[in-house]
Chain A
Amino acid sequence: MRVLHHFHGGIHPPSHKTQSTLLGIAPAPLPSRLIVPFHQHAGEAAKPVVQVGEKVLKGQLIGLPDGFISSAVHAPTSGTITDIGMHPVAHPSGLPNLCATLVPDGRERWEQHDAEDYRTQSAGELQQQLRMKGIVGLGGAAFPSDIKLRIGRHKVDTLILNAAECEPYITCDDMLMRERASEIAKGAEMLRYMVDAREVLIGIEDNKPEAIAAMQQAVRENGMSFEVVAIPTIYPGGGAKQLIYTLTGLEVPSGTLPPDIGVQCFNVATTYSVYRALAHAEPLLSRIVTVTGNVRQARNYEALIGTPIDELIALSAPLPDSSGYIMGGPMMGLPLTEVRVPVVKATNCVIVASEKLFPAPPPVMPCIRCTRCVEVCPVELQPQDLYWFARSREFGKAQTYSLFDCIECGACSYVCPSHIPLVQYFRFAKSEIHAREKEKQAADKARERHEFHMYRIEREKREKAEKLAAKERAAQAAKSGKAEPQAKPEHVSSDIETRREHILEIAQSHVEHTKE
């Protein structure tokens, strides 16, 4: 029996998970149109490689990875690209982003795709395949998986599958494990093969007994020696660093990544899509999305990437007193200002909100320094201090108090008796610091370019002066030495003319040569 470790803090919000696990995963019907953003992952946006009006097949590449941290984007079904342009997407800013609009032809014609046995290929080749298949982390951050597999000189001892799914309402990973456990186990073996890990741990919160049983059975049937570990249900137990600590007792030091301590962590849904990509050569075209909250029939759907959220929600029949929509969970999710936005790779859940489920927050009161936020912070930060620094824009101090270790889990805001939106302050401070760093880099570059500009002008001046001096000297020599003072200066003054004549001469001789 594995000894489990308990990370600092954490909270126990009501889970609300049962309502969406009563029915199995249903395939969402083909929507009227698909809106596929080119920037669905962390890093650089993919570059469009299709034209408006082009007919595409299911699985055809429409966005090429552009930059080191980037991932491919594919056509989720066969049909016609009717538009490539700015379209509203799910983003806290509410600003539009570049998307391709695809009208399905309803025939689901696949592009030719054949898989090779992954064991015959090197880890590097497999990483490149995952990049071109658009595999990114499906837990919410959408970080390209191939980058996480590029461990370089590090030795990864332990591979962890993150199936904690600690956030309330979300059940997409739970249902995936119940129904497709065998594929997940095979995907885990592929990941294990790529990083050459010694052991594989599958961490599942103990409020999902069916998923635990399904995974244990799949591991046994496939003859694997993976360990399925039931971990205590506590939020945010599914944070990568929190899960690693719970399972291994190892802390990932500030400013480093899990491979630095010999661990790597992947979400179960990502593992499933790795299996589909390597065993069946299928790009990431769909994902499981939980539709829950104030709806008649909460359920998990397998939805194509690009499905408009409004069409997806309609399948679950929202109740008339609905007041809004949240993409993701209630703790870290994003309230949607626009419901025509598409499902993207990071969309794990859509919650239909109502006044009853999510009452308006009580008015914000002043901080009383009760430090309840400190008690629940899973990263052992001092949120009350960070709050004062962010509020007074003392960003330097916020950074020395490890602002960038904050995982924005929202546990501090959840327990704050003054209802202060602490995480909003931390996000504000983080993005201000990032913007300042960018500005500083731009200023340094401008300084360098200006200094070179000044140096160039100086050099040109000097060269001109030297040339003039040389001419003068030549003229002087001609005056004192020879009898013909007239002819020379005229000749030298039209410096460009002589050069042109010289070039003409060379050209002429060249022409003569070729004639011979």
Chain B
Amino acid sequence: MLSALLVMAAVAIVLGAVLGFAAIKFRTEGNPLVDKIDAILPQTQCGQCSYPGCKPYATAIAAGEADINRCPPGGEEGIQKLADLLGVDFKPFGDDTAGPKPKSVAFIDESTCIGCTLCIQACPVDAIAGAAKQMHTIIAAECTGCELCVAPCPVDCISMVVIEEDITNWKWKYPSYALTPTQ
């Protein structure tokens, strides 16, 4: 009887030690779910979800504080992916969220720009080049189209330009054909 108890206790201690060691050794920093959600989000850092960036929104979703239908740049496809990841139902965009817009980049009218640097401070991805009292310009390849630079501009010289379809970004369309009934 006593030996059985001792054996059980010893086994429990050994297993406990192993578990404790594993908990320290294989500790994951942060919530892995947050990273998975963040990987789906489009990284525009636009704040249209009412959170200050994609990562905070991902954290809020992971904590169950935010809905999955608050990211307009991600589109309905983004919502679908989040729904699949989290095992919840697809949810269309709510009335308080703006719908997805065509992809665009910011454009600075360089003749109007006064060089105030306010847009540079607003840009979440450092995609605006310029210095105080010098003309600013957008690095179009890095611009995510978040529109955060538009509001702070005191002279309204920033506009959003929709990216037009050209030969380099053209995609084959979903096949469509007339369904003619046979006689």
Contacts and interface: CB of A to CB of B under 8 A. Distances in A.
B182 interface: yes
Contacts of A431: 171-172
A447 B165 contact: no
Given A449-B127, A450-B53, A92 B172 contact: yes
A246 B127 CA distance: 53
Given A95-B166, A453-B125, A446 B177 contact: no
Nearest to B144: A446
Interface stretch (A100-108, A185-193, A419-427, A497-505): A419-427
A222 B179 CA distance: 59
Interface string B16-60: 000000000000000000000010011111000000011000000
Interface residues on B, range: 20 to 34
Contacts of A444: 43
Interface in A431-475: 431-432, 434-435, 439, 442-447, 449-450, 452-453, 456
Contact of A363 (B124, B144, B179): B179
Contact of B43 (A39, A424, A446): A446
B142 A424 contact: no
Contacts of B3: none
Nearest to A91: B167
A430 interface: yes
Given A95-B166, A446-B125, A453-B126, A428 B175 contact: yes
A430 B43 CA distance: 24
A493 interface: no
Contacts, number: 75
A93 interface: yes
Contact of A95 (B41, B44, B165): B165
Contact of A421 (B125, B142, B171, B175): B175
Contacts of B125: 446, 449-450, 453
Contacts of A439: 42
Interface string B104-129: 00000000000000000001111100
A435 B167 contact: no
A190 to B, nearest CB: 33
Given A363-B178, A364-B177, A446-B144, A93 B167 contact: yes
A183 to B, nearest CB: 34
B144 A364 contact: no
Interface string A387-407: 000000000000000000000
A91 B144 CA distance: 29
Contacts of A453: 123-126
Contacts of A432: 171-172
- Identify the interface centre among A97, A435, A446: most chain B CB within 10 Å of its CB: A446
Contacts of A93: 165, 167, 170
A304 B37 CA distance: 55
Nearest to A96: B167
B126 A430 contact: no
A151 to B, nearest CB: 29
A95 B172 contact: no
Nearest to B180: A363
A95 B170 contact: yes
A39 B175 contact: no
B172 A428 contact: yes
A424 to B, nearest CB: 4
B45 A428 contact: no
Contact of B142 (A89, A97, A449): A449
Given A450-B43, A452-B126, A428 B167 contact: no
A439 B142 CA distance: 12
Nearest to A419: B177
Nearest to A37: B167
A444 B174 CA distance: 27
A39 B41 CA distance: 34
B133 interface: no
Contacts of A449: 125-127, 142
Interface string A187-229: 0000000000000000000000000000000000000000000
A428 B166 contact: no
Given A363-B180, A446-B44, A453-B126, A95 B142 contact: no
Contacts of B167: 39, 89, 91, 93, 95-97
B119 to A, nearest CB: 14
A446 B170 contact: no
A428 B171 CA distance: 7
A445 B53 CA distance: 15
A447 B43 contact: yes
A338 to B, nearest CB: 14
A93 B169 CA distance: 10
Contacts of B53: 450
Interface string B153-174: 0000000000001110111111
A445 B169 CA distance: 18
Contacts of A445: 142
A427 B173 CA distance: 9
A424 B172 contact: yes
Contacts of B177: 363-364, 421
Contacts of A421: 175, 177
Nearest to A94: B170
Interface centre among B127, B170, B175 (most CB of A within 10 A): B175
Contacts of A427: 172
B172 A443 contact: no
B122 to A, nearest CB: 11
A302 B53 CA distance: 59
Contacts of B127: 449
A97 B165 CA distance: 12
B54 A447 contact: yes
Nearest to A364: B177
19 contacts: A93-B165, A95-B165, A97-B167, A363-B178, A363-B182, A364-B177, A364-B179, A421-B175, A425-B175, A428-B172, A443-B43, A446-B45, A446-B125, A446-B142, A447-B38, A449-B125, A450-B43, A450-B45, A452-B126
Given A91-B167, A363-B178, A450-B45, 19 more contacts: A39-B167, A89-B167, A95-B165, A96-B167, A97-B166, A363-B177, A363-B182, A424-B175, A431-B171, A435-B169, A439-B42, A443-B41, A446-B142, A449-B125, A449-B126, A449-B127, A450-B53, A450-B125, A453-B123
